[in-house]
Amino acid sequence: MNHQSDNSSPEQPAADDALAAATDASDAYTVSVRAAAILLVFALLATAMMAMVYRATQAPIAASTAQERLRRINEVLAPAEYDNDLLRDALSIPPEPALGLASGSEVLRARARGQPVALIFEAIAPDGYGGAIRLLVGVRADGRLSGVRVLEHKETPGLGDYIDPARDRRRARPWIEQFVGTSHAELGDAGFRVRKDGGQFDAVTGATVTARAVTVAVGRAAAWAHAHRAELFAASLSGTERP
């Protein structure tokens, strides 16, 4: 009877296990690298697509924003009164306390055949009933107001929101229109107050605080523009100019 001897050493199974483990680890690493590469490709493709969408929509969005801005501007100064590109003839100004501005802003300069027509800029009435009221103000070269519009407010609906002509029940002549044609040079600080305070402007009963805040802010804005109109129209567009 023949006996076959087992020539394998005790270390062989351990070596086989180590080799198998190494192979498994290598396969796992390969899979991980492949998965990471796929994720990277997808990330790059997604980034590229987002960049393409951004570039494709940037111009239309900018055009829409400019159009909406011009619409609001044309509410305080009729487009037939100027012939320059208002959005390009914009002068940067630093924070201006007289306008209630805590940060820098712009003054748009309307011209006709090269001659000054009006200055259009934002101002803040800080003391509205519901908080700050953001205004767009137009002041002609002679110091008279061409128009005022409320850009943003938190006044009580149905009570103080009549400062926005879209909410004013007096459609024929909204409250905000009473500023048109007035000037700080003629009325002074005392005139730019509501009648209840001895001034020249009406207020709606029950919402005097709102009217008072807007009226005083408009008066300050008109005074500022009239005092600095020559410097503002003559200032260069390069850099920020302080009047």
**Number of residues that this document lists for the chain:** 243
Return d(Cα 169, Cα 116) in angstroms, integer. 35
pLDDT at residue number 120: 97
End-to-end CA distance of the chain: 118
Return d(Cα 211, Cα 129) in angstroms, integer. 9
Residue pair 150/135 in contact (Cβ under 8 Å)? The answer is yes
CA dihedral 88, 94, 100, 101 (to 10 degrees): 70
The pTM of this model reads 0.73
CA dist list (Å): 2 to 5, 7, 9: 10, 15, 21
pLDDT at residue number 240: 47
Domain boundaries defined on the chain: 10-76, 81-234
Return d(Cα 201, Cα 39) in angstroms, integer. 66
pLDDT at residue number 20: 53
Strand order, beta sheet including 105-112: 90-93, 105-112, 115-128, 131-140, 145-152
Instruction: Per residue of the chain (243 residues), give pLDDT as tens.
Output: 454 445 555 555 655 555 555 565 566 667 777 777 788 777 777 777 777 766 666 555 555 666 788 889 999 999 999 999 999 999 999 999 999 999 999 999 999 999 999 999 999 999 999 999 999 999 999 999 999 999 999 998 888 889 999 888 888 889 999 999 999 999 999 999 999 999 999 998 888 999 999 999 999 999 999 999 999 999 887 544 555
